Amino acid sequence: MVGIAVALTFGFRAVTRDDTPPPAADVVAAPAPARSQPAGPSDPVGTATPLPEPMKGVHVTLPFAALPDKVDEFISLKSAGLNTLQIDIKDEEGRIAFAPEASPLAERIGAVGNFYDPIELVDKIHRAGLYVVGRIVVFQDPILADARPKLSIKRRGGGNWQTFSGLGWTNPYNETVWQYNVEVAEAAAKAGFDEIMFDYIRFPTDGEEAAAVYPGKRPEAKAETIARFLAYAKRRLDPIGVKVGAALFGLAATRNIGIGQAPRKMARHLDIVHPMVYPQGYGAGECNIDNPVESPGRIVNCSLQDYRQTLSGRDVTIIPWLQDYGGYTIDDIRAQVAAAERWQTGGYLLWNGASVYTPGALDIR
């Protein structure tokens, strides 16, 4: 629903697309770095799992990651083509899966849910031969915003700013917020996650923007603020040897949509860009398509062409999020996968908010 709101808010672009073949690959994956020496006695020993070629993975929620039998079910999808699990570390509600030792604040404010032991979970997934992406929702964080109001976006007239659904956001200009999230990322990286993927790495889209007040706001474009956060995160995560990715809106490749996501700037500090090219997130007329939801292959093709062109020359891998919800059939998913293959991406991840996936969606060739 947020995707639909974004598409309607930012309008649409009527641009034609031809059937010329995609350009030669100029967006490449950086070699997988070796893990640095452990920083503490609980850190695992070993090297990073190589990036799958191509990646075929699914989103796993915190509640499902907490259930060993459910994790086993996801691992069993390996026989159906799965090679990657994206496990939530910190979710949209601000909940953190485990207690990061370097961040006692997380426990003090009640953000730690003790959903799983990260070392045990990652070891289990690695022993099955799968790659593990850890997702961290950054600036939407109602727990931190409520517990530490000084770290939140404020509302003109007083109080914390919230989305229309009542969720608090932390202030992207506040470097204490940066530190809090990166400490969680460092703990996950030391536990063995192969990639940290930052999500909600942006300014809000859902809420009364005119009422938002950002204490400490800097005289810089929003895109500079987001890029500075990523530069900070990359400096702290690189020594651990973990790859760094980020989820971006599909529309961000073609224009400034006012949320601070500038793919080319962000890519300077990323190993992997994950465009969220869900057809449901595009308004009527985008890419000259009357109804993007009913033309999943065409809209994903259009969006990934834009990303390839925007990121041309950047040393970064493009791995999109594809839509597996909203009543989509295997043919709808197959059309999206074909578009990802046409633009020589590094594979794909399937998004379903309930973590329930279409049979056969990971074994499309």
Q: Return the CATH number at 201.
A: 3.20.20.80
Structural domain contains residue 42: no
- In this predicted structure, the answer to whether residue 46 has a pLDDT above a threshold of 90 is no
155: β partners: 212
What pLDDT sits at residue 102? 81
- pLDDT of 352 strictly over 80: yes
231 in a structural domain: yes
Q: What angle do CA 274, 106, 2 make, to 5 degrees?
A: 35
pLDDT beyond 60 at 2: no
Within a domain: residue 289? Answer: yes
Q: Which has the minimum average pLDDT: 38-42, 59-63, 115-119, 251-255?
A: 38-42
What pLDDT was estimated at residue 364? 79
Q: What is the pTM of this model?
A: 0.88
- pLDDT of 20 reads 37
How confident is the model at residue 48, as a pLDDT?
Answer: 63
Instruction: Flag whether 193 is in a domain.
Output: yes
Domain of 186, in residue numbers: 2-32+53-351
Backbone angles phi, psi at 304, to 5 degrees: -70, -30
Question: Domains in the chain: how many in total?
Answer: 1
Residue 101 lies in a domain: yes
d(CA 162, CA 146) in angstroms, rounded, equals 10
Question: For residue 356, is it within any domain?
Answer: no
Whether residue 46 lies inside any domain: the answer is no
Summarize the confidence of residues 267-291 as an average pLDDT. Answer: 97
Taking phi first (over 0 means left), then psi (-120 to 50 degrees means alpha), and beta for anything else, what does residue 158 get? left
Residue 365 lies in a domain: no
**Which residue has tokens 């034609």?**
16
